[in-house]
């Protein structure tokens, strides 16, 4: 795989990477704008954390305020980007048209995923999908790019515009610097990240987990989708699942806001994602708040999940 960092022998920032990769101009401007917006969201997280330190009794309200504030920041930045036609967010009840609705891209956002973890100082994230057609279309045909930001000890940004999956770190000067180009998952990993309560798992899912345990997989679950997924991507293998549960056949996580963007990034990194039967990117969403079971990671674990769930 051609490596831009090798060719340039050093510092490559996000804009340069997208330019050299030959990503269409409007798309790279939009991705850049979103990456910049993440800095404002990060500032908001810091601000609220300071303000509410030690006031745990009202934390729930603040968490909601932070989700909403992140959404407002994103919305206002995208409104003036000139490239966005419509915006769908986990924080909004319906899709909103941006400007005259003549922008090129349709954006989905989970502005602040895992915000219930802010008080514990665990990592949280922003997840973005960029579509070429209205978002209720089949993901694989329709998605132009996906990215997520992790707000942890470092702020990192992972993006793909269909030319591999790449990671950048925000440095002290406020630049996104390339840290890993063309991330490739191994065929088989050694960590697993399991959502849902064991007592609510289906028998087939339980047997799958027992298989992983017998194989010696290590448990890694923080309760934040972005850091949990990020760990599997950066460690180059393993499996994240939030399965169908006995009381909830569709599981917990949302198809267009959380799952399709991550599936896009994982496929571009040589991994895969399924709901147990269908590829996540082959599903045509029926509504913006549709939930869906997920098995996402390296190929071996995802194929094994399909085997167990359909046996
Ligand atoms: P949260 O409810 O804290 O916002 O989608 C939301 C999410 O977190 C994901 O980030 C995370 O993977 C999942 O829910 C955690 O669910 P459980 O609390 O059931 O483990």
What is the count of structural domains for the chain?
A: 2
Please give the helix or strand (H or E) that residue 51 lies within, else none: helix 25-52
31 Cα distance to chain centroid: 14
In 3D space, the residue among 67, 137, 133, 76 whose CA is nearest the CA of residue 106 turns out to be 133
Residues 6+ apart with CB under 8 A from 222: 114, 117, 122, 123, 228
Best of 223, 245, 289 for a ligand 1 pocket test (most atoms within 8 Å of beta carbon): 223
Q: Do residues 29 and 146 both lie within one domain?
A: yes
Parent domain of 273: 191-309
Beta carbons of 286 and 234 less than 8 angstroms apart:
no
Ligand 1 atom nearest the C-alpha of 226 is 10
Residue 134 Cβ < 6 Å to ligand 1: no
C-alpha 66/C-alpha 203 separation (Å) is 38
Tokens of 227: 């850091």
User: Residue 79 maps to which CATH number?
Assistant: 3.30.540.10
Other CB atoms closer than 10 Å to residue 134's CB: what's the count? 12
237 in the same domain as 108: no
How many Cα neighbours within 13 Å face the side chain of 246? 8
85 and 135 share one domain: yes
Same domain for 75 and 157: yes
Q: Which pTM was predicted?
A: 0.94
- Closest Cα to residue 266, out of 294, 288, 285? 294
Contact 114 CB / ligand 1 (< 6 Å): yes
Question: Count of residues for the chain?
Answer: 311
Each residue's pLDDT expressed in tens, for the chain with a length of 311 residues: 556 665 555 679 999 999 999 999 999 999 999 999 999 999 998 887 655 444 433 334 455 688 889 999 999 999 988 899 999 999 898 999 998 888 999 999 999 998 888 888 899 999 999 999 999 888 788 999 999 999 999 999 999 999 999 999 999 999 999 999 999 999 999 999 999 999 999 999 999 999 999 999 999 999 999 999 999 999 999 999 999 999 999 999 999 999 999 999 999 999 999 999 999 999 999 999 999 999 999 999 999 999 999 98
């Amino acid at each position: 795989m051609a490596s831009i960092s090798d060719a340039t022998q050093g510092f490559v920032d996000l804009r340069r990477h997208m330019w050299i990769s030959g990503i269409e101009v409007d798309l790279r401007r939009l991705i850049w704008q979103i990456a910049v917006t993440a800095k404002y969201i990060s500032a908001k997280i810091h601000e609220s954390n300071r303000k509410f330190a030690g006031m745990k009794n009202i934390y729930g309200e603040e968490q909601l305020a932070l989700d909403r504030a992140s959404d407002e920041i994103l919305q206002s930045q995208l409104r003036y980007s000139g490239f966005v036609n419509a915006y769908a967010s986990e924080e909004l009840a319906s899709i909103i048209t941006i400007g005259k609705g003549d922008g090129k891209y349709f954006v989905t956002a989970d502005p602040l995923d895992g915000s219930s973890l802010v008080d514990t100082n665990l990592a949280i994230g922003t997840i973005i999908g960029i579509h070429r057609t209205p978002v209720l279309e089949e993901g694989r045909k329709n998605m132009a790019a996906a990215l997520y930001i992790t707000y942890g000890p470092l702020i990192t940004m992972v993006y793909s515009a269909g030319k591999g999956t790449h990671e950048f770190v925000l440095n002290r000067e406020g630049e996104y610097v390339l840290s890993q180009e063309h991330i490739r998952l191994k065929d088989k990993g050694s960590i697993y990240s399991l959502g849902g309560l064991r007592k609510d798992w289906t028998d087939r899912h339980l047997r799958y987990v027992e298989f992983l345990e017998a194989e010696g997989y290590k448990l890694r679950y923080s309760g934040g989708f972005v850091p949990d997924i990020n760990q599997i991507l950066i460690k180059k293998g393993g499996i994240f699942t939030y399965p169908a549960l006995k009381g909830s056949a569709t599981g917990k996580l949302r198809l267009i806001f959380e799952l399709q963007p991550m599936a896009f990034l994982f496929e571009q990194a040589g991994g895969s994602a399924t709901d147990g039967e269908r590829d996540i990117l082959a599903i045509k969403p029926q509504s913006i708040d549709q939930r869906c079971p997920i098995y996402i990671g390296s190929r071996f674990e995802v194929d094994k999940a399909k085997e167990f769930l359909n046996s």
